[in-house]
Amino acid sequence: METVADIPELTALPDRLAPDAARASRLVDFYELTKPRMNFLVVVTTMVGFYMALPAGFSDWALLLHTLLGTAMAAAGASVLNQYVERRYDALMHRTSNRPLPAGRVSPVEALALGVLLSTGGTLYLAAAVNGLTAALGVFTIASYVFLYTPMKRWTTLCTVVGAVPGAIPPMMGWTAVTDSLPPQAWALFGVLFFWQMPHFLAIAILYRDDYARGGFKMLPVVDENLVVTGRQAVLYASALLPVTLMPVAMRMAGPVYLLSAFAMGLAFLGFAINCAARKRRADARWLFLVSIMYLPALLGVMMLDKAGRGG
């Protein structure tokens, strides 16, 4: 009876597959550098801004694809450049030590080249296929994320506030793709994303405060030992988020269905922020984080459904 060892074609198969497996693994590492899960939110919020800006009778859906593709490329490039800058500090933290750069699976030169290529390609694509204003917002987002927020994480606790700015720009890019302008409605969407991010990221910083300390990052929970200021800020921003989410109603972007939903969800979100601030436990920070990632898509989804229901 023949065995696998008696068949030359089969015994050589692992050696033949090894290069292919290595190439596939490298592609996965490069893909991981782009932070696809985080940038999925960028693409979704860009789409929300695009939809909310649509006039009646709009039919240029190719513009949406161009907008999402260019924005995704720019956001991916910013993520790669962020990891390039922080590669030595990521190696010190349990949460990030196995990322492709600190683990040595991708070289710094390769990451830098990929980041520059994606960032430049994404913004140039937006300029050519969408419009100059959207491309300019993309450039500002990349620059503020990489050259302001990223280094500030090691200098000051204000880094979270600064980092919330580029994180809130994608819906504005969706809006400008349609209108080539930045009216108050676009700024209202910016406000929703900005104020939502603060309790969201403060919760994350509480959950990983020890890791951030190991990496030398000056996140607020790292320096705020008793989490008093951290909890106060989470409540403050969640409180401010509530009236900001009602601005689309005042601007006639949404109607009563959205008004009631936004008010109810905002109160619930604020309640979890107050609970986290009062109890100062890691478990409560986790609840605030989980609620935050359910709150945003629910809020934006209701906003879009309300617009659709009113024939917008």
Kindly state whether residues 115 and 161 are assigned to the same domain: yes
* pLDDT of 14: 58
* pLDDT of 12: 55
Kindly state whether residues 177 and 187 are assigned to the same domain: no
The residue out of 159, 181, 203 marking a domain boundary is 181
Kindly state whether residues 236 and 299 are assigned to the same domain: yes
166-220: pLDDT as tens digits:
999 999 999 999 999 999 999 999 999 999 999 999 999 999 999 999 999 999 9
The residue out of 114, 149, 181 marking a domain boundary is 181
CATH of the domain at 98: 1.10.357.140
The residue out of 134, 159, 181 marking a domain boundary is 181
* pLDDT of 5: 46
Domains identified in the chain, total number: 2
Q: What is the percent of the chain with per-residue pLDDT over 70, rounded to a whole number?
A: 92
Kindly state whether residues 137 and 271 are assigned to the same domain: no
Kindly state whether residues 137 and 175 are assigned to the same domain: yes
Q: If DSSP states are collapsed to H, E and C, what string results for the chain?
A: CCCHHHCHHHHCHHHHHHHHHHHHHHHHHHHHHCCHHHHHHHHHHHHHHHHHHCCCCCCCHHHHHHHHHHHHHHHHHHHHHHHHHCHHHHCCCCCCCCCCCCCCCCCHHHHHHHHHHHHHHHHHHHHHHCCHHHHHHHHHHHHHHHHHHHHHCCCCCCHHHHHHHHHHCHHHHHHHHHHCCCCHHHHHHHHHHHHHHHHHHHHHHHHCHHHHHHHCCCCHHHHCCCCHHHHHHHHHHHHHHHHHHCHHHHCCCCCHHHHHHHHHHHHHHHHHHHHHHHHCCHHHHHHHHHHHHHHHHHHHHHHHHHHHHCCC
pLDDT bin (cut points 50, 70, 90) of residue 290 is: very high
What's the CA gap between 36 and 259, in Å, rounded?
32
pLDDT above 50 for 84: yes
* pLDDT of 18: 58
Kindly state whether residues 107 and 53 are assigned to the same domain: yes
What's the CA gap between 69 and 42, in Å, rounded?
11
pLDDT bin (cut points 50, 70, 90) of residue 150 is: very high
pTM, full prediction? 0.90
Query: Which of 263, 279, 290, 301 minimizes the C-alpha distance to 199?
Result: 290
Task: Name the phi and psi angles at 203, rounded to 5.
Answer: -65, -45
Residue 167 is part of which domain span? 17-181
Kindly state whether residues 175 and 187 are assigned to the same domain: no
pLDDT bin (cut points 50, 70, 90) of residue 4 is: very low
* pLDDT of 7: 54
CATH of the domain at 281: 1.20.120
Kindly state whether residues 197 and 135 are assigned to the same domain: no
39-78: pLDDT as tens digits:
999 999 999 999 999 997 788 889 999 999 999 999 999 9
Section 302-306 average pLDDT: 95
* pLDDT of 21: 64
* pLDDT of 15: 57
Question: Per the domain annotation, does 278 fall within a domain?
Answer: yes
Q: What is the mean pLDDT of the chain?
A: 92
* pLDDT of 60: 87
